[in-house]
Copies of this chain bind each other. A is one copy, B any other.
Amino acid sequence: MNKDRPYSALVQRLKAAGLRPTRQRLALAKLLFEPQSGGDRHITAEQLHAEAVAEAVRVSLATVYNSLHQFTGAGLLREVVVEPGRSYFDTNVSDHHHFYFEDGGRLQDIPGEQVHLEGLPNPPEGTRVARIDVIVRLSDGESEAS
Listed in ascending order, the chain A residues whose CB lies under 8 Å from chain B are 79, 81-87, 99, 101-102, 108, 110, 114-124, 126-144
Contact = CB atoms under 8 A, between A and B. Distances in A.
A127 to B, nearest CB: 4
Main secondary structure of the interface of A (DSSP, over half): strand
Contact of A137 (B102, B115, B131, B144): B131
B132 A135 contact: yes
A116 B117 CA distance: 6
Given A114-B121, A119-B114, A128 B134 contact: no
22 contacts: A79-B84, A84-B86, A84-B87, A85-B85, A115-B120, A123-B136, A124-B138, A126-B141, A127-B139, A128-B144, A129-B136, A129-B137, A129-B138, A130-B139, A131-B137, A132-B135, A132-B136, A133-B133, A133-B135, A133-B137, A134-B135, A135-B135
